[in-house]
Structure 1
């Protein structure tokens, strides 16, 4: 029987939210892992017993801001999934959320990152050095003894049990970045003044083939060491 993955996204708009997982979708499909995209921003949490893998994507909200209306619900759901021993991958906001669940913390990044950077990794088979797209003003402090990768900004990956938390965005494709831009326009929101959106768009497009390969390697290695059957 094929494994089932739940992907939590934070853009509730139909037609956009399905594009958010980007390169993660084909990486799962290649391994016969069916996936469903859900947003707890507007939906009730599903039964965690129905899934063999959880992926928590990024968000424009802060994982440290408990005034976000849906954050408590998502924290409780992710905690329940992790406690069941379900393999869980967190991307940017998702990695920060997992850090909170597992005893780490989230705060403002000493060095916000917007663009492609490499990481110093302790396990290049699981977390390649990149370069990876970074897009964050917050950062996590991982649970003690779990850090797996880092760069000048701070921790970039941690792993414990069947959990892998990432600060960067392995999922990025040209279409996923376009979906971000569409959401920003719909919300009337603009990135920080120092963020060159058009330069990032061009960099994402130029690096898309390499990014797909890196994401496939990361997702494949994570599934190989955490999924049974």
Structure 2
């Protein structure tokens, strides 16, 4: 089975989600959209492959906004088209954070600024703990999804929709893939300044991620397993 994993920047990795997909028999093809030298100028040219022929598409997080066309204008349209086609072909799509925001946009929803940022480990309210455990989950976002009208919200908190389902597509606002090394890189690639503006010690998310790693791995595996096992 072939899984296309869209990595928008060189900092983020499929992490715990990727590990479980491999254990479930998937061969991962990792596409990096924005190279490291253009991390702060991500308006690059990128040609996405066709959606047909994949068994699964995973869209990871990114430090930008889906609706910020000035910043990501050259390539976001191609990704939205890929996600839309994959969904309509019945190919499972898992969108994570920015990937969830791209998915909701592709399927007719919108993305807007959240009332406040979420950075750190947060518990959520879930309608289906077998699919979306309550966490806590790693969060690092400033925007939120407004899911498409036909989507079913499956988890939330006071800030935003935390998970939504539409057919074989699942979007989650949190980061089930997060491992401590990646959280460290988020801090190094601009996250420290973001934390400082919010009065957060930038070492706290890293230290908490180390402490949470066993629980995070278990929760990520449960989510991946339940998602794959629920597919039509």
Q: What is the TM-score with the length of structure 2 in the denominator? A: 0.87
| CA–CA separation in structure 1 for the residues paired with 2:153 and 2:76 | 24
Q: What pairs with 1:121-132 in structure 2 (closer than 5 Å)?
A: 121-132=126-137
Q: 2:125 aligns with which of 101, 116, 120?
A: 120
Query: Do the aligned partners of 1:64 and 1:106 also contact (CA within 8 Å) in 2?
Result: yes
Output the aligned Cα RMSD. Answer: 1.8
Q: 2:64 aligns with which of 61, 64, 73?
A: 61
| CA–CA separation in structure 1 for the residues paired with 2:201 and 2:162 | 22
Which string of whole-angstrom CA distances, capped at 9 and with x for unpartnered residues, describes residues 111-158 of structure 1?
A: 221111111101100000000011111001112351110001121100
Q: Tell me what 1:5 maps to.
A: 3
| CA–CA separation in structure 1 for the residues paired with 2:169 and 2:127 | 16
1:44 to partner: Cα distance: 2.0
Unaligned stretches of 5+ residues in structure 1: none
**What is the aligned residue count?**
217
| CA–CA separation in structure 1 for the residues paired with 2:211 and 2:201 | 15
Q: What is the TM-score with the length of structure 1 in the denominator? A: 0.89
1:161 to partner: Cα distance: 0.3
In structure 1, the residue corresponding to 2:193 is in which secondary structure? coil
Query: Do the aligned partners of 1:66 and 1:72 also contact (CA within 8 Å) in 2?
Result: no
| CA–CA separation in structure 1 for the residues paired with 2:190 and 2:5 | 21
Q: Tell me what 1:51 maps to.
A: 54
Unaligned stretches of 5+ residues in structure 2: 35-44
1:182 to partner: Cα distance: 4.4
| CA–CA separation in structure 1 for the residues paired with 2:80 and 2:33 | 10
Q: Tell me what 1:226 maps to.
A: 231
Structure 1 runs of 4+ aligned residues shifted over 6 Å read none
| CA–CA separation in structure 1 for the residues paired with 2:153 and 2:167 | 13
